[in-house]
Amino acid sequence: MIKEILPTYEVWTKDMSLADQIKFYFDVDLDNYLGDPWEILAECAVDPYWLEEFKVNFKEYLQEREYIQ
């Protein structure tokens, strides 16, 4: 059996906006989200390292679920 070659993080996310990445990571449809999406944005506003940490966590998330190599 030939194992499918998985794309890199950069290739997989190149056409995804940050909003799409957040939706995918949190599995949130912001149009139908019952919580407060501003909570996510508030965390971004107070933590200068949030985006950097998010990207690391998102990459690990994708690797664990075998979306990327």
Burial 18-47 (b: 16+ CB within 10 A, else e): eeebbbeeeeeeeeeeeeeeeebeeeeeee
* pLDDT (tens digit per residue) in 4-15: 789 999 999 999
Residue 69 inside a domain? The answer is no
Q: What is the domain count for the chain?
A: 1
What's this model's pTM, rounded to 2 decimal places? Answer: 0.75
Residue 42 inside a domain? The answer is yes
* pLDDT (tens digit per residue) in 11-50: 999 999 988 898 888 876 666 766 777 787 788 788 889 8
Segments forming the whole domain that contains residue 44: 9-64
Residue 23 inside a domain? The answer is yes
